[in-house]
Amino acid sequence: MTSLSLTHWQGPWPSTIQREERATVSSTEAADVDTQLVSRAQNGDRMAYDFLMVRYQHRIAGHLQTFVKNPQEVSDLTQETFLKAWQGLSSFRQDSQFYTWIYRIATNTALSYLSRRKAAVLESDLSEAGRSEYDSVSSQQPDPEHAYAVSELNEVIQAAMADLPEDQRETLHLREWQGMSYQDIAEALQVSVGTVRSRIHRARDFIDRSIDQWRSGGSTL
């Protein structure tokens, strides 16, 4: 199978899901429904996986909206998330809830998409403002020493970013490169706002110390 189609289920629900929809059930009962559906889907029951998609597609789409705002991008990333989950379903051992598992897939899918989009922007033509600034600087007498220093500083920053723990690098990327608010980052990564602030503070501090070390003539951290 190469693609999935997100659809709004119009047919009758299985009896277990009917009972859940008619009454409030405990998280344990809901997890039991997921366990049954996942087990059936792992055995090749496509309809069971369709039920899982119906159950969670709106929550996954809502989560992805913390990363991208364009409805078409949200739809595409939701589709990609469920496709990846289907392709990797055989490796899901159900040692965590299905939603927790697919939530992480959605997060990784969004971060990967944002990284690709950022790279595409960097490789594309300069923005109008950036081009104007570039032309202005280029028209002046070149300063090889300054250009070298800027290039070296950029390498220092990139090296420091690469050395950050993954959680700090991921959080700083969402804040500095994607411009997300602390609250949106917290919701996207399922951590507290305090954790987001702490990660960003530690990441910035590490990068600042790397720059200071470079400026003093020593090796970077």
pLDDT in tens, 29-79: 666 788 899 999 999 999 999 999 999 999 899 888 888 888 999 999 999
Q: Which residues contact 122 (CB under 8 A, 6 or more apart)?
A: none
Write the class of the CATH domain 15-116.
mainly alpha
Where do the structural domains in the chain lie, given as residue ranges? Answer: 15-116, 141-215
Number of H helices, E strands in the chain: 10, 0
Query: What is the model's pLDDT at position 104?
Result: 86
Query: For residues 130 and 138, is the Cβ–Cβ distance under 8 A?
Result: no
Query: What is the model's pLDDT at position 86?
Result: 94
Query: For residues 126 and 132, is the Cβ–Cβ distance under 8 A?
Result: no
pLDDT in tens, 168-208: 888 888 887 777 889 888 888 889 999 999 999 999 999 88
% of the chain beyond a pLDDT of 90: 26
Structure token pair of residue 195? 């954790």
Question: By mean pLDDT, which of 28-37, 154-163, 207-216 is the weakest?
Answer: 28-37
Q: For the chain, give the mean pLDDT.
A: 76
Query: What is the model's pLDDT at position 19?
Result: 43
Report CA 86 to chain centroid distance, whole Å.
19
Domain 141-215 annotated CATH 3.40.50.300: no
What does the pLDDT average to over 8-23?
A: 42
